[in-house]
Structure 1
Amino acid sequence: MNVHFIAIGGAAMHNLAIALHRKGYQITGSDDEIFDPARSRLKASGLLPDDTGWFPEKIHAGIDAIILGMHARGDNPELMKARELGLKIFSYPEYLYEQSKDKIRVVIGGSHGKTTITAMILHVLKHAGIDTDFMVGAQLDGFDVMVRLSEDAPFMVFEGDEYLTSALDRRPKFHLYKPDIALISGIAWDHVNVFPTFDNYVEQFRIFASQIMPGGKLIYCAEDQTVAAVASGVDTGIKSLPYNIPEYFIKDGISILNTGNNEIPLKIFGHHNMLNLEGARLVCEAMGVESNIFYNAIGSFAGASKRLERIGNNNTCSVFKDFAHSPSKLKATIQAVKDQFPERKLIACMELHTYSSLSSGFLEEYGSCMDRADIAIVYYSRHALQIKQLPDLSPDDISKAFKKDDIQVFNDSEKLALYLFSLNTDHTNLLMMSSGNFDGIDLKQLSQRFTGAKDE
């Protein structure tokens, strides 16, 4: 098979390109800009384009499939040439379905926890020796790719993103996967640039649930009333399996799962992670994994990248980074660290980086979500506002939205770093939360300064 990628440098696209290359496909691609880690990984696989830009001469009748990336527009010269030649054109999720349509498809959906639950499932399946293909949205320990495709694996496990399929296809990605086993972890309004109301956002999950294959299973978090309402509307031919928080306790800063037969020390922590664990257990059970095998494996699961990831610590403090950026994720992540280390002060720093978080009409959703932090800090970049073509925000706007009188607001990354370096770190945890990078703040260096470590 000859497959050409238009916008091969995307986070998802380059992983799919590498996966198909490993499967034996002939891969070509183009992009107008490619940054690390995609650049290095494509180069290592021999797939990095010689030049950046769009080259319609690369498109010819011998190509079996064109895969269109998220930022490729309708007037892309390579896309126009492919249409002229009548070539098969797929979006990223369409092609993943094409590769998995003869497999048992497991799709993990929800506003939060998708990556972690998918990572837990893959960790357990690997431990159990069960062969599976997968697509996950973060780099996982023990896996060198984020997409794996094969001829023989009986399962395909998807992280089911509700964001748009492509610039030309406005359907949410997880509407294309047609799961045999589906999970919904939680629903909290996000992506306001695409789903302007909460009801419109919830409707996407109703559609997702309605597309479960006949005789399939829906595993859902019963603690979330919106999710439970969605689950109550599924077809009677679908088996609904609710889950709640499993029994656990915290001892000496470690969460310990009580299975009824054993007490299992965990490397992860937090209420949401305990819910994620129970959801993952039910999915694995639906895939044929016995509970004792699941429990034997889950104790060694250390978490997904940037999901409450500990990047430094000493005897009296720890530094964590997390992907949290929406109000529900922010509140849950702060609560998790406070509950795990109640004797330590918590400095919680988050970056407003996404379109939703920087939209003045959405800011009020952040009200009181950082209340449990002893020191709460919000960072935003005026450059990010300009790129997203959003009106300017003032620090006062943000302070009022978060409804916390002593919140610190910064829009200069150097001043933020200096402020963080100035804080007393004794018996203190630092939590850095963003889907961006705080405009280049070196979190490794910050962690070393915070913990007094010379090397991480």
Structure 2
Amino acid sequence: MKIHFISIGGSVMHQLAIALKRKGYQVTGSDDEIFEPAKSNLLNEGILPKEIGWNPANITADLDAVILGMHAREDNPELIKAKELGLKIYSFPEYIYEESKDKKRVVVGGSHGKTTTTAMIMHVLRHLHKDFDYMVGAKLEGFDQSVNITDAPVIVCEGDEYPASTLNKHPKFHFLFPHIAVITGIAWDHINVFPTFEIYLEQFRIYIDKIEKGGILIYNTADETLKKLVEEHHRTDIRYQPYHIPTHHIDNGITYVNIDGVEKELSVFGNHNLLNLYAAWYVSKELGITISDFLDAISSFTGASKRLELIAHNANTNVYRDFAHAPSKVKASMQAVKDQFPNRKLVAVLELHTYSSLNEAFLVQYQGALDKADEAVVFYAKHALAIKHMPDLPKEKVWEGFGSNKNVTVLNDKADLDAWLHQHIYQNANLLLMSSGDYDGLDIKAFANEITK
């Protein structure tokens, strides 16, 4: 197979390029900018483009496929040439499906928890030495790639609701046609793509329709919106497996779960992780795994990167880094840390970094999100607004959005955030750092190490 990637430098695109190269395909690519770590990864595999930029000469009639990344625009000269030659042009998820037509396809969708649930399934399968392919939106411990395509009989995919490509604006998870589908929960997000909640909700109805006949939908009944959607949008040609928070207890900061009479100590905690674990169990069960083997494997799962990741600690202080940014994710992470350590003070830092979170009209969705904190700060960088071409966001509007909580401080200057962090005493306290950004370049890891020495 001879394949060319337009926008090969994307965080997931370059991973697919590497996977196909390792499978033995002839892979080329182009991009107008390639950053680390993609640049070094492609260089090490021998498929880094020799020149930066677009060149129609890269597109030849003997190509078996052209894979188009989100970064490429409709007027891309290579895309125009590919159309003129009548070549097969795929978005990333469309090509994943092409490579997995003969596999059993597991797809994990949902507004929150999909990365962790996918990671849990992958962890269990690897622990039990099962042969499988995968596609996940994060770097996971024990896996050198976030995408792997081989001749394995099973593929496990994180199902993203973001658009597939510049040519196809439908969500990525509409193109994967699962045999085993999961929906972890539904909470409005990506308002730049889905301007109303009803439009967002419709994407999950379509996802359910994409499940292969005879397949199964595993869904979270603790989410009332999802539960109602499934009840109203019921198919008779697939099976349904509801799940909820499994039986468990917490002892001295350690969570123990009990499923089907089998109890096991976990390395993760929080109701959202317990929900994700239960979904992963039902997927594993469909793949022929016993509850004893599942719990033996999942007990060593420590979490996906930046998902309640413990980055520093001592006897009386834990510092967690978390990817939470959407309201539902923030609430879940806050609740998890407070439930696990009810006698410790909780200090929370939330950075607004996404288009939705920086939109003044969306801020009301965050009402009460930080109420579990003893002290909290909401931070946003002014240049993040400028990069996204968004209007100024007044601090008072942010404070009002979070419910005018007296425990919440709003800051938009990195120096002020640094000063706020240093003014607190972290004795018998947990610090929860939530962001999909980098706090305007503030060295959070260094600060975490400093306060736990």
Residue 309 of structure 1 pairs with residue 309 of structure 2: yes
CA–CA distance in 1 between the matches of 2:100 and 2:318?
Answer: 41
CA–CA distance in 2 between the matches of 1:162 and 1:54?
Answer: 28
CA–CA distance in 2 between the matches of 1:295 and 1:55?
Answer: 52
Residue 109 of structure 1 pairs with residue 73 of structure 2: no
- The amino acid of 1:224's aligned partner reads D
Task: For residues 376-416 of structure 1, give each alpha carbon's deviation from its aligned partner in whole angstroms, at most 9, with x where no partner exists.
Answer: 11111221112222211011111111011231111112321
Residue 176 of structure 1 pairs with residue 175 of structure 2: yes
Secondary structure at the counterpart of residue 72 of structure 2? coil
CA–CA distance in 1 between the matches of 2:390 and 2:158?
Answer: 30
Q: CA deviation at 1:313?
A: 0.4
Contact kept in structure 2, 1:231 and 1:240, CA below 8 Å: no
Q: 2:295 maps to what in 1?
A: 295
- The amino acid of 2:85's aligned partner reads L
Contact kept in structure 2, 1:307 and 1:323, CA below 8 Å: yes
Contact kept in structure 1, 2:374 and 2:407, CA below 8 Å: no
Task: For residues 84-125 of structure 1, give each alpha carbon's deviation from its aligned partner in whole angstroms, at most 9, with x where no partner exists.
Answer: 222111100110011101111111010000000000001111
Contact kept in structure 2, 1:6 and 1:72, CA below 8 Å: yes
Q: 2:2 maps to what in 1?
A: 2
Q: 2:227 maps to what in 1?
A: 228
CA–CA distance in 2 between the matches of 1:405 and 1:342?
Answer: 21
Secondary structure at the counterpart of residue 357 of structure 1? coil
Scaled by the length of structure 1, the TM-score of the pair is 0.97
Q: 2:431 maps to what in 1?
A: 430
Residue 251 of structure 1 pairs with residue 274 of structure 2: no
Q: 1:400 maps to what in 2?
A: 400
- The amino acid of 1:411's aligned partner reads N
Task: For residues 208-228 of structure 1, give each alpha carbon's deviation from its aligned partner in whole angstroms, at most 9, with x where no partner exists.
Answer: 011111110000011111111
CA–CA distance in 2 between the matches of 1:234 and 1:71?
Answer: 36
Structure 1 unaligned spans of 5+: none
Contact kept in structure 2, 1:218 and 1:231, CA below 8 Å: no
Q: CA deviation at 1:417?
A: 1.9
Q: CA deviation at 1:259?
A: 3.4
Secondary structure at the counterpart of residue 312 of structure 1? strand
Q: 1:185 maps to what in 2?
A: 184
Q: CA deviation at 1:59?
A: 1.5
CA–CA distance in 2 between the matches of 1:429 and 1:2?
Answer: 52
Q: CA deviation at 1:50?
A: 2.2
Q: CA deviation at 1:296?
A: 1.0
Residue 89 of structure 1 pairs with residue 89 of structure 2: yes
Q: 2:19 maps to what in 1?
A: 19
Secondary structure at the counterpart of residue 27 of structure 2? strand
Q: Between 227-236 and 108-117, report the one with greater CA deviation.
A: 227-236
CA–CA distance in 2 between the matches of 1:48 and 1:374?
Answer: 49
Secondary structure at the counterpart of residue 12 of structure 2? helix
Q: CA deviation at 1:129?
A: 1.9
CA–CA distance in 2 between the matches of 1:184 and 1:262?
Answer: 25
Secondary structure at the counterpart of residue 268 of structure 1? coil
1:267-286 correspondence runs (5 A): 267-286=267-286
Secondary structure at the counterpart of residue 143 of structure 1? coil
Q: Between 270-279 and 125-134, report the one with greater CA deviation.
A: 125-134
- The amino acid of 1:349's aligned partner reads V
Contact kept in structure 2, 1:312 and 1:318, CA below 8 Å: yes
Residue 266 of structure 1 pairs with residue 269 of structure 2: no
Secondary structure at the counterpart of residue 397 of structure 1? helix
Q: CA deviation at 1:269?
A: 0.4
Q: How many residues align?
A: 451
Q: 1:338 maps to what in 2?
A: 338
Task: For residues 201-260 of structure 1, give each alpha carbon's deviation from its aligned partner in whole angstroms, at most 9, with x where no partner exists.
Answer: 111101101111111000001111111122222311110000111111111111111235
CA–CA distance in 2 between the matches of 1:427 and 1:137?
Answer: 34
Q: CA deviation at 1:263?
A: 3.0
- The amino acid of 2:184's aligned partner reads S
CA–CA distance in 1 between the matches of 2:175 and 2:307?
Answer: 26
CA–CA distance in 2 between the matches of 1:179 and 1:234?
Answer: 16
Q: 2:208 maps to what in 1?
A: 209
- The amino acid of 1:380's aligned partner reads Y
Secondary structure at the counterpart of residue 423 of structure 1? coil
- The amino acid of 1:228's aligned partner reads K
CA–CA distance in 2 between the matches of 1:241 and 1:341?
Answer: 32
Task: For residues 103-154 of structure 1, give each alpha carbon's deviation from its aligned partner in whole angstroms, at most 9, with x where no partner exists.
Answer: 1111101000000000000111112222111100111111110011112x11
Secondary structure at the counterpart of residue 3 of structure 1? strand
Q: Between 229-238 and 107-116, report the one with greater CA deviation.
A: 229-238
- The amino acid of 2:189's aligned partner reads D
Q: Between 442-451 and 109-118, report the one with greater CA deviation.
A: 442-451
Secondary structure at the counterpart of residue 331 of structure 1? helix
Residue 218 of structure 1 pairs with residue 214 of structure 2: no
RMSD between aligned residues? 1.1
- The amino acid of 2:75's aligned partner reads D
CA–CA distance in 2 between the matches of 1:415 and 1:48?
Answer: 41
CA–CA distance in 2 between the matches of 1:263 and 1:421?
Answer: 41
Give the percent of matched residue pairs that are identical in Structure 1 and Structure 2: 55
Q: 1:422 to 1:50 in 2, by over 3 A?
A: farther
- The amino acid of 1:408's aligned partner reads T
Residue 440 of structure 1 pairs with residue 452 of structure 2: no
Q: 1:155 maps to what in 2?
A: 154
Task: For residues 333-384 of structure 1, give each alpha carbon's deviation from its aligned partner in whole angstroms, at most 9, with x where no partner exists.
Answer: 0110111111111111011111111111101111111000111111112211
Contact kept in structure 1, 2:64 and 2:88, CA below 8 Å: yes
Contact kept in structure 2, 1:247 and 1:259, CA below 8 Å: yes
Q: 2:30 maps to what in 1?
A: 30
Secondary structure at the counterpart of residue 54 of structure 1? coil
Secondary structure at the counterpart of residue 361 of structure 1? helix
CA–CA distance in 2 between the matches of 1:332 and 1:320?
Answer: 14
Scaled by the length of structure 2, the TM-score of the pair is 0.97
Q: 1:66 maps to what in 2?
A: 66
Q: CA deviation at 1:64?
A: 1.4
